[in-house]
Amino acid sequence: MDGKRIGILTEGELLTLKAKMAHGVMRYRKDVEAVIDKSCSGGNVRKLLPYVNKNIPVVADLQEAIELGINELLIGVAPPGGGLPPQWMNIIEEALASGIRVANGLHIRLAEEERFKKYKNNIFDIRYSYVPKEVAHGRAAKLKKNVILTVGSDCASGKMTTALELHQCCKKRGMKSDFIPTGQTGMYIMDNGFAIDTVLSDFMAGAIEDFVCEAAIRNDFVFVEGQGSLIHPAYSGVSLGLMHGSAPNIIVFAHDITRERLAYFDKAIPTLEEQIEITERLAGYQRSCKVLGISLFAAGMERNAVEEVICEMECKYGIPVFAPLVTGCDRFVDILEDYR
């Protein structure tokens, strides 16, 4: 869709973890005109979410967003299970009736809902735009190119952001790099990729294997967006499927330093030493692989406090530590230069 002007619906969730899709899209796309969220109306994203760093107004309702010129409504939340809040149905129908395209990243297929069938040509169910069905054959493990997978200590811990920021930093240096989205947010940002959580379990590894092998033909560095967490009781399946299928030789471990317990699952997050050991053991069965660095998500922390944590962690773990949205990625990409 050319000339896209996006309004993002987060009604009541803008400042929560559930709005991670909205946060990612706002940071990396340049065509977001408004956020619809009555609880924060009158505010601005730059002040409400400093790490997103975009001058986007927050309005109270769809009509205000229409007055700002939106022609696409993005459902900007990603709650556990990907369900749709019932109270949002009327807002979505109002948008469709007004001729506004609706982009939906949830598991529910809006185009197949009875009340929306007459609008199906104006609905984009992101997760289902491409669903691979291919068993893995171990081809990625034979690659000579660098495959960098982000693995996290929890869900929503900065895996997509880390991979995207590293990819963009590499591109600025003229390095041959690609980024493979594996979730609905990355797909919407990049207009390609696939959602691993819509793929049948037997085909998860094969899906990412195909993407990685194709990207490796033209690039020296292939950044794979990780999903979930290997130790998360609810989301480890997609994490392992991506690891086995992509067969990385480099892993960047993403960690939210403000979080002590797993999101959506009340269990303590294990130590990073334990998680890094598990990660390297599991990845090493496919291809020689190591955790080369740690990426920190540090929302709400001042830069000097983040830099102190980085210094402490580098001394403790003996590998580079960086915070992409605070300190940037250049120090880590300096190391990747040696892998050309």
d(CA 303, CA 305): 5
Task: Lay out the sheet containing 72-75: strands in order across.
Answer: 58-59, 32-36, 6-9, 72-75, 101-104, 123-125
Average pLDDT, rounded, for the chain: 95
94-146, pLDDT tens digit by residue? 999 999 999 999 999 999 999 999 999 999 999 999 999 999 999 999 999 99
226-262, pLDDT tens digit by residue? 999 999 999 999 999 999 999 999 999 999 999 999 9
pLDDT at 209 over 80: yes
Domains and CATH numbers, the chain: 6-128 (3.40.50.720), 140-337 (3.40.50.300)
Average pLDDT over residues 62-80: 93
Q: What pLDDT, on the 0 to 100 scale, is given for residue 82?
A: 61
Q: What is the pTM of this model?
A: 0.94
Q: What pLDDT, on the 0 to 100 scale, is given for residue 121?
A: 97
34-59, pLDDT tens digit by residue? 999 999 999 999 999 988 989 999 99
Q: What pLDDT, on the 0 to 100 scale, is given for residue 17?
A: 87
Asked if residue 58 lies in contact with residue 42, where contact means CB atoms within 8 angstroms, the answer is: yes
Q: What pLDDT, on the 0 to 100 scale, is given for residue 83?
A: 66
Q: Residue 95: how many CA atoms within 13 Å on its side-chain side?
A: 31
Beta bridge partners, 75, equal 9, 104
Strands 290-297 and 221-224, by their bridges, are: unpaired
pLDDT at 86 over 80: no
Quote the distance between the C-alpha of residue 311 and its chain's center: 26
Helices (H) and strands (E) in the chain, counts: 11, 12
